[in-house]
């Protein structure tokens, strides 16, 4: 922590004494005062996700369920399509406990398949199109999946890998199959001599079957499998149950979010992430809120859709909301309808958040850009900023009702407010485990002396006296410099305070056995041009960065001497920054071996 942060922590500890708190979040649970107590006391129905959506909407057949490229699908049609999909699965031999692999974006058929499989007690194996081909084959083999639903847009790239897998039935789904544009859009041409068939033929094959069965609720009944990013090895299957989804959606009314029938939710998070399925599909549909779908993950499209479709809620990353800073996209639109914009998955600076909220306000919306935090292993969200709780800039909000969070040291001793350590969560929305990987499952969970099961998020952070969680970085993101453990994200945070820095990444660099800090920097375009003209200015700029870090930390081990100026960062197919590739880079660095202490220039000894 910086000097300023330490002083603030001491001041805040005095506040704790006045509030008569124990000093430990898991004991005090200070977030409880922000929940609607009437909603909090309600029992969670013991139902599958299919039963939940059916029971809550069957009496409203004419209400809007899905909206997709001009096609408005009411609940009557919605349930007919789920039934037809369920019967088609049965025709192809799918039964309770079987896995069906789905590689498709946010389109209506993905939703029908998800609920149809829940109805049968089968499992939706959600595969992202960016999967490495060998991983795709391995993941299909692991769960013994024989049937694949795949969007025509993704199929050509994965076709050869799928041929080498155990898949027997390949159902090709035209992207715009449910839209009013389906007759004019291009589709993949079926190979009649293969095991390929179109979605509509798949549905037709089940048409003459009797009414499909409905599996009743069972505790821990598997529902879906999503996957870890694979940044630290092979991707792991994260097996989630009906309980995980049900417990998650039941927490939102108590947190103060108004989810009421007749409103609209914009679904943009892909369904191969648990947030895309749980928070962006099952949550709104369970409360009779319609879902607007557009699988295009593009910023301009995102803003234009909000302007045109007028959704009341959305969960999206920062990069999507930054589109509101382009007045050409927003124009003179009244945004008063946009009440609940939630952000997650990407860093959000105070500066950017304020600018986006100013645009909202200028266009008639008092909405705050609410930050949420979670991970697939925890079902979806763990914490969120809400209307009822006083949100603190830089935090990711308070725990959702039913969830307890704490910060612990390496020996799993709980730490008091403002002390940072590893973030653990006790949540009823947790995964059942990593599929067929007992070792990784055991390493992920921690059972304390009272028998409480904690999800080890792998993140570092702290909690304030109001229960707000501050996530600072990954526990694995550190370097060992002169025997001292330095969290790289601490240095990144300080560097990013400088206005001339656009992006940066701090990593450990192995210089012939000597560990050093290497900073990868993208400067603002204006500064970049200036340094291209004046080469000496680059060294001066890097030296100033060293000085700033030292002034903020008073720790020479935290001052990097190796810098690489970049125009961009490489990204893996998962969409995340390719850290492993960056680490392999050994050339193109600028070495600055000096800092200033006590106003005297001095060589930086290592």
Domain 478-603, classified CATH 3.30.300.30, yes or no: yes
Which CATH homologous superfamily contains domain 3-34+403-474?
Answer: Luciferase; Domain 3 (2.30.38.10)
Looking at the chain, which residues constitute the CATH 3.30.300.30 domain(s)? Answer: 478-603
Tens-place pLDDT, residues 265-276: 999 999 999 999
Percent of the chain's residues with pLDDT above 90: 72
Tens-place pLDDT, residues 514-525: 999 999 999 988
Tens-place pLDDT, residues 133-158: 898 999 999 999 999 999 999 999 99
| pLDDT over 90 at 423, yes or no | yes
d(CA 149, CA 170): 6
Could you count the other beta carbons within 10 Å of the beta carbon of residue 345? 19
Query: What three-state secondary structure class fits 461?
Result: strand
Tens-place pLDDT, residues 48-99: 999 999 999 999 999 999 999 999 999 999 999 999 999 999 999 999 999 9
* CATH number, domain 49-297: 3.40.50.12780
554: left (phi over 0), alpha (psi -120 to 50) or beta: left
Distance of CA 240 to the CA centre of its chain: 15
Q: What would the mean pLDDT of 346-356 be, rounded to a whole number?
A: 84
Confidence of residue 605 (pLDDT cuts 50, 70, 90): very low
Confidence of residue 14 (pLDDT cuts 50, 70, 90): low
Looking at the chain, which residues constitute the CATH 2.30.38.10 domain(s)? Answer: 3-34+403-474
d(CA 376, CA 278): 10
Query: What three-state secondary structure class fits 83?
Result: helix
Tens-place pLDDT, residues 99-122: 999 999 999 999 999 999 999 999
d(CA 294, CA 68): 7
d(CA 255, CA 212): 37
Percent of the chain's residues with pLDDT above 70: 91
d(CA 550, CA 555): 6
Confidence of residue 569 (pLDDT cuts 50, 70, 90): confident
| pLDDT over 90 at 182, yes or no | no
Q: pLDDT averaged over the chain?
A: 90
Question: In 3D, which of 114, 104, 100 has the Cα closest to residue 173?
Answer: 104
Question: Which pLDDT score is estimated for 406?
Answer: 98
Assigned token pair, 250: 């039941």
What is the pTM for the complete model shown? 0.89
Assigned token pair, 233: 């090895």
With beta carbons less than 8 A apart as the criterion, state whether 415 and 14 touch: no
Q: What would the mean pLDDT of 147-171 be, rounded to a whole number?
A: 94
Low-confidence winner among 209-223, 264-278, 376-390, 554-568 (lowest mean pLDDT): 376-390
| pLDDT over 90 at 588, yes or no | yes
d(CA 327, CA 313): 21
d(CA 336, CA 360): 8
Question: In 3D, which of 36, 144, 52, 129 has the Cα closest to residue 94?
Answer: 144
Looking at the chain, which residues constitute the CATH 3.40.50.12780 domain(s)? Answer: 49-297
| pLDDT over 90 at 479, yes or no | yes
Question: Which pLDDT score is estimated for 570?
Answer: 84
Question: What do you get for the CA distance between the two ends of the chain, in Å?
Answer: 22
Confidence of residue 6 (pLDDT cuts 50, 70, 90): low
Question: Which pLDDT score is estimated for 49?
Answer: 97
Question: In 3D, which of 421, 349, 425 has the Cα closest to residue 381?
Answer: 425
Question: In 3D, which of 91, 90, 92, 111 has the Cα closest to residue 102?
Answer: 111
Question: Which pLDDT score is estimated for 602?
Answer: 47
| More confidently predicted of 345 and 64 | 64
- Give the Cα-Cα-Cα angle 80, 84, 88 (nearest 5 degrees): 170
Q: What would the mean pLDDT of 352-356 be, rounded to a whole number?
A: 91
Question: In 3D, which of 27, 437, 500, 482 has the Cα closest to residue 237?
Answer: 437
Class of residue 194 by CB neighbours under 10 A (exposed 0-12, middle 13-18, buried 19+): exposed
């Amino acid at each position: 922590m910086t000097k300023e942060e330490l002083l603030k922590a001491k001041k805040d500890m005095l506040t704790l004494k006045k509030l008569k708190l124990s000093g430990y979040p898991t004991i005090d649970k200070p977030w409880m005062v922000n929940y609607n107590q009437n909603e909090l006391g309600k029992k969670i129905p013991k139902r599958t996700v299919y039963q939940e959506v059916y029971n809550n909407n069957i009496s409203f057949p004419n209400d809007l369920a899905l909206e997709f490229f001009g096609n408005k699908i009411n609940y009557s049609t919605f349930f007919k399509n789920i039934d037809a999909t369920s019967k088609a699965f049965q025709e192809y031999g799918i039964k309770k406990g079987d896995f069906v692999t789905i590689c498709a974006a946010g389109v209506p058929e993905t939703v029908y398949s998800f609920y149809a499989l829940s109805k049968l007690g089968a499992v939706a194996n959600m595969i992202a199109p960016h999967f490495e081909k060998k991983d795709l084959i391995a993941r299909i083999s692991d769960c013994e999946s024989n049937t694949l639903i795949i969007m025509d847009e993704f199929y050509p790239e994965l076709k050869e890998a799928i041929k080498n897998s155990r898949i027997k039935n390949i159902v090709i789904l035209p992207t715009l199959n449910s839209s009013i544009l389906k007759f004019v859009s291009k589709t993949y041409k079926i190979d009649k001599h293969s095991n390929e068939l179109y979605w509509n033929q798949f549905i037709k094959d089940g048409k003459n079957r009797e009414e499909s069965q409905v599996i009743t609720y069972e505790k821990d009944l598997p529902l879906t499998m999503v996957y870890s990013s694979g940044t630290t090895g092979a991707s792991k299957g994260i097996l989630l149950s009906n309980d995980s989804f049900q417990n998650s959606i039941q927490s939102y009314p108590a947190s103060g979010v108004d989810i009421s029938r007749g409103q609209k939710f914009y679904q943009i998070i892909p369904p191969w992430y648990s947030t895309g399925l749980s928070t962006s599909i099952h949550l709104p549909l369970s409360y009779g809120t319609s879902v607007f779908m557009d699988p295009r993950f593009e910023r301009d499209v995102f803003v234009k859709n909000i302007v045109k479709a007028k959704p009341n809620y959305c969960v999206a990353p920062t990069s999507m909301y930054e589109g509101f800073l382009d007045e050409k996209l927003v124009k003179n639109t009244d945004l008063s309808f946009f009440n609940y914009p939630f952000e997650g998955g990407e860093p959000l600076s105070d500066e950017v958040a304020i600018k986006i909220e100013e645009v909202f306000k200028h266009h008639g919306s008092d909405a705050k850009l609410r930050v949420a935090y979670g991970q697939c292993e925890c079902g979806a969200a763990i914490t969120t900023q809400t209307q009822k709780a006083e949100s603190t800039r830089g935090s990711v909000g308070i725990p959702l009702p039913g969830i307890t969070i704490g910060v612990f040291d390496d020996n799993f001793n709980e730490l008091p407010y403002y002390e940072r350590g590893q973030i653990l969560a006790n949540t009823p929305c947790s995964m059942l485990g990593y599929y067929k990987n007992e070792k990784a499952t055991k390493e992920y969970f921690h059972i304390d002396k009272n028998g409480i099961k904690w999800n080890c998020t792998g993140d570092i952070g702290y909690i304030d006296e109001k229960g707000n969680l501050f996530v600072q970085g990954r526990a694995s993101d550190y370097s060992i410099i002169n025997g001292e453990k330095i969290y790289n994200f601490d240095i990144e945070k300080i560097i990013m305070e400088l206005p001339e820095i656009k992006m940066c990444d701090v990593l450990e660099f192995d210089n012939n056995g000597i560990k050093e800090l290497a900073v990868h920097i993208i400067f603002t375009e204006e500064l970049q041009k200036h340094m291209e003209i004046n080469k000496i200015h680059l060294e001066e700029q890097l030296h100033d960065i060293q000085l700033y870090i030292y002034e903020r930390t008073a720790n020479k081990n935290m001052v990097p001497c190796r810098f690489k100026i970049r125009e961009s960062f490489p990204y893996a197919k998962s969409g995340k920054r390719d850290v492993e590739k960056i680490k392999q880079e050994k050339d193109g660095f600028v070495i600055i071996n000096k800092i200033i202490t006590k106003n005297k220039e001095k060589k930086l000894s290592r």
